[in-house]
Structure 1
């Protein structure tokens, strides 16, 4: 199963050149970039671990790519995503995020449906490794 979260998740994995082009786009808009990683890609897990600090003062994609490579070396079997923050309104807002690294074997996510009182339905999700 392929985890699909964020921008570009239904496309094939981006090459480093394509990732760099997306970073350049974000930087041209004045957005800060952060690198995050996790081993739990559950859709409700929105709080991934941050790799270092968001890069607010960068103007070149090379700085982000250096941090991304360091994260890939330290966490090769993790999901890694880049997050772009827009601070033009005075607070940080996630404007764009996309996955840039995946484990070799992705876990499957199963969903079970249970009918309860009335016409209500409850859903439970579970990762199958």
Structure 2
């Protein structure tokens, strides 16, 4: 069986500091940072995951990186976010806020700049309490 290659994103040494070695950030860390930043935006009801993340959540495990895809290209870091919004919010405003929040969080925590943050709205969450029967 072929050995899985470990992927990481190289990080530069901060200005004025002596390099003591290499700093590398795993893509999964970027996904977790982006996932948490996404869920903190008002108007986002959740992110879309896979079948495996759905099963893990049923057993009580919190999956922070679900619905986030990262890709490191020659031009820079590209992040794709798949999320659902709450009914009644301005989708364009929420999507721009997700982009801003992700860029800011990743830059603050890792000093990596993002080339693109693509937001994919996969659904709308309707409030279940608003539907009632009239007698």
TM-score (norm 2): 0.29
TM-score (norm 1): 0.30
Structure with higher strand content? 1
Structure with higher helix content? 2
- Greater C-alpha Rg: 2
